[in-house]
Amino acid sequence: MSVRFHKGFDDQENEVTIPSLEIERGALPTWLSGTLMRNGPARFRLDEGTLNHWFDGLAMLHRFDMADGRVSYTNKFLDTPARRAIQDGRMRYSEFATDPCRSLFKRIAQQFVGSRFGANANVTVGKIAGEFVAQTEVPMPVAFDKETLDTIGVLGYEDRLKGQLTTAHPHYDREQRVAFNYLLKFGVKSSYGIYELPAGSRTRRLVGEADARKPSYMHSFAISAKYAILMEFPLVVNPLRLLLSGRPFIENYRWEPERGTRFSIVDRSTGDVTYAHTDEAWFGFHHVNAVDRGDDVIDLDIIVYPNADIVQHFYLESLLDGPNHNVFPDSELRRFTIDVATGAVTSRTLVDHSADLPRINYAYNTKPYKYVYANGIAERGRSMLPDTIVKYDVESGEVKEWRHDNHFPGEPVFVARPNVDAEDDGVLLNVVLDATTDTSYLLLLDARDLSEIAQARVPQHVPFGFHGTYVR
Ligand code: QVM
Ligand code: CO
């Protein structure tokens, strides 16, 4: 099979502003007026050596502005200590899977002055206290100017919550106007604190705290109307190792499937914590939704893998030079039904198809819903990277697909058509790498049937990124 996706991992040093992209096919819907902002790594090659992993690359912001049938494009690196050091020819800060060379003394000193992290927030874009921020899993959001994409700086919270790790996937309760996230505090006894942050505020409030001796690597979590739920995959770390091993962050984690999978369930109003458990070992990055069924049962839907091999798959060496059998690990959309009172967990496959980077119409978060959009795998056991856009019907298990040979889409972002009721009445925005020309384009699909609406060409490549957000 010919796979030419490598351009998606090439550095993109060119920062441009293009007032009007060429619309190569179709036309933008007249109602579509807003901005898609995306984040992702755009530089891996250093003066000496290369970063190890897809999650390590230097953050670049991308902005697609849509109005009056036109699309403009701007991209800019996030201006951070990590980026400046690399421009000066040195790697000075820890990334997900790459560490600079350091003495033990320096490592420990840095641990306590908190400068091991160079603010390379390359995962997603959010909004905190009215500011647009780039976010990653170290709780130091980096504010930037929405128009110019110029970096403003690390956004400070005004509270006393402490923790070293969080997610780049906060949840939002649009009625209560609060955001939720967790903050992991490493210690002899580590804890995951669930906090809420009112819109417009910098003051987080601790809702409840679950403890863990060996914290799990959890890239996202779920909220239902009543609970915040942490699905603790058995990819776990001994916090001492993180402090002393001298290995990059993720290499300190161990796959311990015999632990099974624990769920920490925090009551959003009382802060009470209960635990549930299954002997089955699962791993995943992305929760899809969670819905309360009756009083004390939660249906939690998530893209899962039977193990954490996917983390290895995303090393650049594996992606770019791996042997032909180095294919994308199989995933599925699975529903875990949790009985909060008894701690019992059962689960079943909802959609038996491989994909990741799932999105829903977020108005349906915590509510009964039907559709998931994701970055899909055309052929299990053959594709190395996601190469389709899929739409899942979680009730029937039906899969719809958009695909095009040698075109590599990313995360599909759903935008609802204003003033409509149907869950899937809207468009999907997707940045696709066209590996036949080594350039990218913004693809608009009708979310109902995945038919093409328009394509707007960027005259250079947009490296494969992670997440984005649409703002009106
Ligand atoms: C120290 C550290 C880091 O889908 C994309 C996922 C991306 C995830 C990323 C980029 C995670 C990065 C995590 C850089 C962790 C840094 C932590 C949390 C604890 C400190 O003690 C040590 C700086 C290595
Ligand atoms: Co993510």
Q: How much is the average pLDDT of 263-292?
A: 98
Using CA atoms of 431, 58, 233, 350 in order, give the dihedral in degrees to the nearest 10. 0
Residue-level pLDDT at 109: 63
Distance 341 CA to ligand 2 centre (A): 30
Pocket probe for ligand 1: among 106, 112, 138, the residue whose CB has the most ligand atoms within 8 Å is 138
Q: How much is the average pLDDT of 103-118?
A: 68
Which ligand has the shortest distance to the CA of 118? 1
pLDDT grade, residue 111 (50/70/90)? low
| 325 alpha-carbon distance from chain centroid | 26
Distance 436 CA to ligand 2 centre (A): 27
Residue-level pLDDT at 470: 98
Q: What is the pLDDT of residues 231-245, one digit of tens each?
A: 999 999 999 999 889
Q: How much is the average pLDDT of 49-75?
A: 97
End-to-end CA distance of the chain: 41
Residue 262 half-sphere exposure toward CB, CA atoms < 13 A: 19
Q: Which residue has the tokens 């350039």?
A: 439
Which ligand has the shortest distance to the CA of 311? 1
**Alpha carbons 234 and 290: distance in angstroms, whole number:** 21
Mean pLDDT of the chain: 95
Residue-level pLDDT at 108: 64
Q: Which residue minimizes the CA distance to atom 13 of ligand 1?
A: 96
pLDDT grade, residue 1 (50/70/90)? very low
pLDDT grade, residue 106 (50/70/90)? low
For residue 403, count other CB atoms closer than 10 A to its CB: 14
Q: Which residue minimizes the CA distance to atom 12 of ligand 1?
A: 96
Q: What is the pLDDT of residues 211-232, one digit of tens each?
A: 999 999 999 999 999 999 999 9
Distance 280 CA to ligand 1 centre (A): 26
Asked if the model's pLDDT at residue 175 lies above 50, the reply is: yes
* Contact assessment for residue 166 and residue 136, using Cβ atoms and an 8 Å cutoff: no
* Contact assessment for residue 248 and residue 97, using Cβ atoms and an 8 Å cutoff: yes
Paired with 22 in beta bridges are: 457
Pocket probe for ligand 1: among 55, 95, 186, 249, the residue whose CB has the most ligand atoms within 8 Å is 249
So what's the ipTM on this one? 0.95
**Alpha carbons 409 and 397: distance in angstroms, whole number:** 22
